[in-house]
Amino acid sequence: MTQYPSFALLQNTGGDMNFQTDSQALHLQEWLNSGVDEEIIALNVRSPSGTVPYEYLLYSPKISRRNDGRLRDRDLKKYQHIELGGWWCNGVDPLNNYALMMWGCFKPDHPRRDRQKIHKFIKYEHPFREETRAFFLLVPNRIWVKVSLRSGIPITEEDLQHPGGFWHWVWRHNVPVTIVEGVKKAGALLTTGYAAIAIPGVNAGYRTPQDEYGTPIGKPYLIPDLKHFATQGRQVNICFDQDNKPETVQRVRTEWH
């Protein structure tokens, strides 16, 4: 199975901090408090700061730039808070030979205010002007074994040797999957032996065709990441936080049935 760098090495690729910084310690503790295995954290979470977060969030060719290729001042100002650091998580891309996915999630240590809801802050940032995707976290072998035991589906030597590792095994053998909202929840479920796929919001697992005015013009369809795992005979569970607001409950039921 492919070997991945340690937590400390991953951190050093994301900024000039070392493993012992207060920021990293806080990020690690946040994930541990969510019930995520420390090895899963080590494989998937980085703590970038300075200009590095711009590379994670502002890479889209759809972003308007100056003639010299530099980001426009309005976008630099909008995202200047990310220079103060935060944690980044992406996972692998099942649609690109299980290479590390470019798309991911950045949780800034000092979030910006939401212009449309001025009393709220934007807790999580995703790549600007890019369509949302799903999270497929890297897992250590012992977690892979735990998922195998829970699902009753064995791991073959061929599976272990395949560069796609755990997620190729999940796809190939129709291992049951659980869709959750939020990448830390996926980490927590993987820790307990469930093959969990995270989406960044309850509406982020599908798209609805729209005209130029934003009016729906067709039926909703699954995002490609989820469609890839929507194979015949696979058990798919949807696990979202319970919300007591009737309108929220009804909206989620309507949109996922």
139-149 per-position pLDDT tens digit? 999 999 999 99
DSSP 181-240: ESHHHHHHHHHTT-EEEEESSTTTTEE--B-TTS-B-S--EE-HHHHHH--TT--EEEE-
Predicted model pTM: 0.86
pLDDT tens-digit readout, 14-24:
443 344 478 99
Provide the pLDDT for residue 122.
95
Q: Where are the domains of the chain?
A: 7-108, 141-255
pLDDT average, residue stretch 187-207: 95
How many angstroms separate the Cα of 82 from the Cα of each of 35, 48, 77, 127, 175? 26, 9, 10, 12, 37
| DSSP structure class, residue 83 | G
What was the pLDDT predicted at 73? Answer: 87
> How much is the mean pLDDT over the chain?
88
Question: Model confidence at 115, in pLDDT bands (50, 70, 90)?
Answer: confident
216 has a pLDDT exceeding 90? no
State pLDDT tens for residues 40-84. Answer: 999 999 999 999 999 999 999 999 889 888 889 899 999 999 999
Give residue 234's pLDDT band: very low, low, confident or very high (50, 70, 90).
very high
The neighbouring-strand residues paired with 158 are: none
